[in-house]
Amino acid sequence: MDCSQFDEQVVRLEELKDTADEFIRVRLAAIEPLDLKVFDFDHDLTFMVLFMNAEQQVYARYGGRCEQGPDARQSLEGLRSTMKSVLVECKSDSPRFAPKQPGKPFLIREVAPPRGLGRCIHCHQAKEVVYNDLDRKGKWNTELAFRYPLPENVGLKLDVDRSHIVTKVAADSPAETAGIEAGDRLLNVNQVPIHSEADVRFALDRAPKRGSIDVTWQRDGRQRSAKLTLADRWKRTDISWRPSLQNFVATCRIYGKDLKEGERDELGLTKTQLAFRQKASVPAVAKKAGIREGDVILGFDDNELDMSAYDFLLHVRSNYLKGETVKVNVIRNGRKLRLTMKLD
């Protein structure tokens, strides 16, 4: 459990004492001596629980956060529900465990930390250390940024208080295509037993960037199975809130005033779609791409976005990384252009 910044969580856990007393509880305040192949979870967090046996096999995980804040995806009732589910699992004749990465142990203390961190590294700093080390060695790639995807990325919305229960399935999503419905209880995703949303995110983190994974769920006492089909870029989600990625988040180098209604009508644009006129000052990276003062910017890669120029700045920070190449959609003198720009 990582409570290094939120000791009040320990006090609140007393409300769960009746269930928690079924477990031997250990608080971990530092991660340097631990094998990250065992303690594998989303380290951009405020709170995380791993349910393990004496052989360091992991039954389940609970915790995690997202761009909505530290408590948007967890609750005391959610933790209680997960504990009860894990107790049933560990008392079964054939308990299931989450897969573990093969190979020798990986210790964070063996990685040189960034300047200023020293040798004392907390859980929430672990990925920052690893990512910066990979970047120094030239081994960083953009796929590493989109870790622990949300269930919503495959069309699933889960109950906060019973986070192995589906509350909503998005239309035309991989989950809907697989046949999952609201009210279903998830049992396995990508060979990972599901007791919480953190388990789902761990399972999706192990999934390929395209292809399919197995999913099993229960409905009306009956077990059902199918595959989730994953398209390109399915792992993409907002990463601007993640401390470990602040050095890799892209900055939008183009900006200007939103077009007025009359200007939009002349160009055949809708009232709400992104369309702004590039201001006089054109940064070097945009100028190198061929963008000029007065160009009408419609966004990247032919994606029509309903947002303002200011919202587009936030959109780029949330969805793109430094070093990625995009096609900037431009209207110049009535002519549509696609200009190649490398983000920095």
- Which residue would you say has higher pLDDT here, 119 or 140? 140
pLDDT beyond 80 at 2? no
Q: State the Cα–Cα distance between residues 49 and 28, nearest whole angstrom.
A: 10
Written as six digits, the tokens of 40 are: 């594998």
- Which residue would you say has higher pLDDT here, 117 or 198? 198
Q: State the Cα–Cα distance between residues 43 and 64, nearest whole angstrom.
A: 8
pLDDT beyond 50 at 94? yes
The residue assigned the tokens 């983190």 is 205
Q: State the Cα–Cα distance between residues 61 and 239, nearest whole angstrom.
A: 21
216-256: pLDDT as tens digits? 999 999 999 999 999 988 998 888 888 888 888 898 999 99
Q: State the Cα–Cα distance between residues 81 and 328, nearest whole angstrom.
A: 47
pLDDT beyond 50 at 6? no
pLDDT beyond 90 at 330? yes
Q: Is 82 helix (H, G, I), strand (E, B) or coil?
A: helix
- Which residue would you say has higher pLDDT here, 52 or 14? 52
Q: Is 231 helix (H, G, I), strand (E, B) or coil?
A: coil
Helix (H) or strand (E) holding 51: strand 48-52
pLDDT band at 341, cuts 50/70/90? very high
Q: State the Cα–Cα distance between residues 297 and 329, nearest whole angstrom.
A: 6
Measured CA to CA in angstroms, residue 334 lies from 213, 286, 330 at distances of 46, 20, 10
Identify the pLDDT of residue 120. Answer: 67
Mean pLDDT in the chain?
A: 89
pLDDT band at 56, cuts 50/70/90? very high
Identify the pLDDT of residue 125. Answer: 79
DSSP 8-state class, residue 245: G
Q: State the Cα–Cα distance between residues 100 and 144, nearest whole angstrom.
A: 18
Q: State the Cα–Cα distance between residues 172 and 177, nearest whole angstrom.
A: 7
Q: State the Cα–Cα distance between residues 182 and 48, nearest whole angstrom.
A: 26
pTM beyond cutoff 0.75: yes
309-329: pLDDT as tens digits? 999 998 998 888 888 999 999
Written as six digits, the tokens of 15 are: 């409300």
Q: State the Cα–Cα distance between residues 289 and 270, nearest whole angstrom.
A: 26
Taking the alpha carbons of 162, 166, 168, 172 in that order, is the dihedral positive or negative? positive
- Which residue would you say has higher pLDDT here, 214 or 139? 214
Residue 82: CB atoms within 10 A of its CB come to 27
Residue 148: HSE in the Cβ half-sphere, 13 Å Cα cutoff: 20
Mean pLDDT, residues 68-74 taken together: 88
pLDDT beyond 70 at 192? yes
- Which residue would you say has higher pLDDT here, 7 or 24? 24
Q: State the Cα–Cα distance between residues 179 and 175, nearest whole angstrom.
A: 6
Mean pLDDT, residues 94-104 taken together: 92
Written as six digits, the tokens of 239 are: 């990463």
pLDDT beyond 70 at 293? yes
Q: State the Cα–Cα distance between residues 112 and 118, nearest whole angstrom.
A: 9
Identify the pLDDT of residue 63. Answer: 93
Mean pLDDT, residues 202-215 taken together: 95
pLDDT band at 127, cuts 50/70/90? confident
Identify the pLDDT of residue 316. Answer: 92
Q: Where are the alpha helices (DSSP H) in the chain?
A: 8-12, 17-20, 76-90, 126-136, 174-178, 197-205, 261-267, 284-289, 309-319
Residue 178: HSE in the Cβ half-sphere, 13 Å Cα cutoff: 27
pLDDT beyond 50 at 1? no
Q: Domains in the chain, ordered, with CATH? A: 151-230 (2.30.42.10), 250-342 (2.30.42.10)
pLDDT beyond 50 at 35? yes
Mean pLDDT, residues 187-211 taken together: 96
pLDDT band at 3, cuts 50/70/90? very low
Q: State the Cα–Cα distance between residues 207 and 230, nearest whole angstrom.
A: 9
